[in-house]
Every structure is written in structure tokens, then in C-alpha cells.
Amino acid sequence: MSGDAVIIAAEAVRVRVPFRRPIRTAAGEWTHRESWILRLRDTGGAVGLGEAALDFDRGEDPNAAELSRLFRVMVERVSAGESLPTTAELEASGVPGRALRSALDSAMLDLGLGASAPGAVSRSVPVNATIGFLELSETAAAARNAAAGGFGTIKLKVGPERHTAELVERVAAARAAAGPNMLLRLDANGAWDAATARVRIAAVAPYRIEYVEQPIAAGDAHSLAEVRVASPIPIAADESVSSAGAARDLLAARAVDVLVVKPARIGGPVPTWEIAAMAAAAGVHVVISTLFETGVGLAAALATAASLPVVAGATHDYAHGLATADLLESDLLTHPLSVVDGRMQVPDGPGLCISLDDAALERYAVEWLGRRP
């Protein structure tokens, strides 16, 4: 990581921000987002922000304990005048190391000390509205609201349905409420086995689905490739994209039409740009999404999405999964990121161009490491 010598202070705050209403998916129900907010200060007094978040876990998560340990060690190292951990050190720690790398790379990007965007930066990117696993009437209402709000794409969480007919009913309700021009994508969060996926994908094909995301559990690129061959709808991977290496394996297996990349999961902007370059060369689209981070993580993901390469032959702009701040009680920012007519605006200024709401940070903090820069 370049520029390590100029970092003179590090502060890390573990926050727990409740969702406005529980988030329900095929993977479970979640009531809050817990993450780490990082502030780095350089010798010139500038402050860079980053966020580290992990995938939701149903029980005691050893990755969360290890991430806490890594943050303590990092803060202690900086306080002692030592350098930040290297990319190789963090990669050796696996999942928690990549989460910390994401926060560090974002903070360095904010400071203008890390790797810069590999291409031209757009001033806005299209974003999708997300509809969780709701009752039928609530699903329809949310789809109507998304259309009225100017969104051009809806991501509908599916998977917990016991019968295929229930899935078709929900998809039909969303399509009818959103109208014929809305792009509609489905996210099963790995809920189906391969046989069920083939049946259910075929059943919803008449409703003009943009793609089906993670129809089967992560970890089996060969089986996902078989589902893709049989599918009348494009296939996307999300949970399967756990690292740059995992993305490479998916591309080699020709398992996907779309890679849904969460920078917080795979190590931040730099490995995301590396994945995007590989995917573009293979004719595969990349959609940037989040782990429901606060505005700090969203700003880094937005900066990443705004500089993705264009895939040759793309028929439309793929919306990114970044419009999630309103799901939380607070985004922790003094000025929220703006979404206008289904597009998220990239702040005009150096770095991430965001600032923390210190009162909100205090309100949701559950652990504080280091002196405040």
C-alpha cells in the first residue's frame, strides 16, 4: 500500500446501526448492521474514511472476532509509529483481512494516497431499488413506489417460497405493479438446489427477468455453470464472488453472465477493479453491491462503480445495488448520498467527498479504538 509512511493516526469505531425494519432474505432475518468505521490522518492533517463489514452470520462469527483483533493490532501499530499492514498480510487473514483491506483502501483512496481509478469516472451511476422478502401486497406496493421514485431496476429477494407457484405469484405481482418497462432481477441468495433452480427459473421466464442472482449455494462453479446452460434467463453470482480468485474461477467455468461484486467482501476498490477488467475481457458484466454498509462504505462502493470498464456489446446500463442507505436508521454522514431518478450522484470533489456525522457516530458506537484524529 503506497504512502503508508505519511499516516500518523488511526481511529476505528465499531458501530451497530439498526435497520428501519428487519431485512428478510433466504439467508435469514437481520435487525441491524454492525461494521467498523475507520479514520486515518496523514501528516498534512487530512482525514480519510473507510468501512469494514462482514457478511451476516446466523451465530457466533469467528470472523468478527478476528476482524476486531486485526483492527486493534493496526491501531496499536500506527500509534507506535509503525506502518499499516500490507496487502499480503491482510490476504493471509482471509475474510476478516479482506474486510480490513477494504476499509484501508477506501481511506487511502479518500486521502488520494492509494491506487487511483483505472478509467474515466462517471458523474452518476444507475442504481436498483431493493425489495426484501415481503408479503404479496407489500411487494406490490414497494414495486409501485420504486417506479414512482424513478428507478429503472428492481431487485426482488426470493428463495424462501415453499412452492414454485408462490414464487411466480410474487414475481407476477412485482411485474404488474412496476409496469412492463421496469428491469426486474431476482436474488435467491443460494436458496435452491440445482434441480429446483432449473424449475423455478423456467417458471418465471415469462416475466422478463434481467437475471437471477445466486440461484444455488456458493462454492460450486461447475454446478452453477450447468444451471446457466439450462437457464432461459441470464445468471449472476454474488456470494460466490468471495475473492478475486473466486471470480477468476467463475469466469473460467463460464458459470455467469454477471458478477455481483461487493467491495467490502473482496478487499475494496483495487481488487474490484481487477475483477472488472477480467470480466470485461470475458464479456461478463459487473454489478457493484454492498453488505448494507453505512454511507462510508456506500461512498467507496459508488466511487468504484463509477469507474468500471464498459463491456463490449452491452445492451443496457446495469444498475448497481447501492441505494440501501435508507434501510438503516442512519447513514452516519452529514450529507447523504443523493439518488435522483434512479441514479446515484457521485460527489464532486477530492477523494470520497463525504464527512461523518460525529453525533450519529457517538450514538451508534459500541467500541472505540485509538484517539480521534
Largest CA distance in the chain: 62
User: What tens digit of pLDDT does each residue of 173-224 get?
Assistant: 999 999 999 999 999 999 999 999 999 999 999 999 999 999 999 999 999 9
Place 59 in a pLDDT band, splitting at 50, 70 and 90: low
Whose cell is 444498475? That residue is: 319
Q: Do domains 4-117+357-369 and 124-345 have the same CATH topology?
A: no
Output phi, psi for 333, to 5 deg: -105, 150
Q: Go through the chain and tell me how many residues it has.
A: 373
Give the pLDDT score at 2. 41
Report the CATH number of the 4-117+357-369 domain.
3.30.390.10
Give the pLDDT score at 1. 42
User: What tens digit of pLDDT does each residue of 60-95 get?
Assistant: 689 999 999 999 999 999 999 999 999 999 999 999
Spans of all domains in the chain = 4-117+357-369, 124-345
As a whole number of angstroms, the distance between CA 84 and CA 192 comes to 42
Q: Which residues are catalytic?
A: 157, 262
User: What tens digit of pLDDT does each residue of 287-339 get?
Assistant: 999 999 999 999 999 999 999 988 888 888 899 999 999 999 999 999 999 99
Report the CATH number of the 124-345 domain.
3.20.20.120
Average pLDDT over residues 101-108: 96
User: How many Cα atoms are found within 13 Å in the side-chain-facing hemisphere of 16?
Assistant: 7
Place 147 in a pLDDT band, splitting at 50, 70 and 90: very high
Q: Is 185 helix (H, G, I), strand (E, B) or coil?
A: strand
Place 264 in a pLDDT band, splitting at 50, 70 and 90: very high
The answer on pLDDT for 3 being more than 50 is no
As a whole number of angstroms, the distance between CA 269 and CA 244 comes to 12
Is the model's pTM score more than 0.85?
A: yes
The answer on pLDDT for 228 being more than 50 is yes
